[in-house]
Structure 1
Amino acid sequence: MMLTPTWIVSTVIVGLLLNVVSGYLKDGLDRMLSILFERWGRASARRSKARAEMVKLLRTDMEFQRSFRIKRLVDAHRAMTSGVGGIVVLVFAFGNTGGVSVTTNIALFYVGMLSAFAAQAYGVACVRKSILLVEAEAPSSPERFLGGLE
């Protein structure tokens, strides 16, 4: 039975203790979270400024744009190659060939999962950086869009 006097008294005592402790922790948590969000906001502003500068540089410097485009292609190739490699390891792990022990099979499965996940994350990063090229090539004015065809 849960409604014994011992259970009721211990529940009330624990509730009071949690209430007192939470009063002391609240101020510290508020301070910590405000510092965290302030830093996050400053870092976000820095990233936004750096991104705008990168787009500006890509719009003005064609040689930099060319090298940036080549780097993005190399990154995309690496991401695809890593993803295919991870899938091959996963298929090999699921194949469970005769001479491979169960422990080795489990290890291969985890290696394949990790490499496929890493390739996926790398691919997402490549796509995010490639979006800068799209922004740099986007027309900023009607004159640039029309290309002087008026």
Structure 2
Amino acid sequence: MKNNYQLPKPTNPTISYCQAKAIFTADGRLEGYKKNMKITRNNFVRKLIYERQHGICPYCGKRMLNINVGTAIHHNSYDNSCTFNGPLIHIYSPQPDGAIQIQVPNCAVCYYKYPCKSEDCISALVMIHKDCHELLHGHLEKVKTQD
């Protein structure tokens, strides 16, 4: 099946995660920055991005099988800070410290209540294959040679 969609290629942010974190810390907006980083685990956001991209990885142009297995949400920019003040939701997400749940912003409420604010967050994100994400960040050079 030929990919007829012309999705913009994902890019690496112009500033690093650590630089952005330092900027948001200095501005007193670190909590909003952390919430923005966690929206990548929100299934509402994952499903929305997957559907917007028609299930196609914009990095390699191949189909992604579903929203959770073998995929990653990539930030094209770290410029956003979540300003939604609604209650956080608990999701199942095993963590390195042994916890199995984390709290993430309720993006579905924000999306319907504040669509412009929500679009600012979501427009900076793309869903790509996990291997493509590693390649994009230069962590998995060997994957390229396996194709």
Q: TM-score, normalised by structure 1?
A: 0.23
The structure with the largest alpha-carbon Rg is 1
Q: Which has the higher helix share?
A: 1
Q: Which has the higher contact order (CA 8 A, sep 6+)?
A: 2
Q: Which has the higher strand share?
A: 2
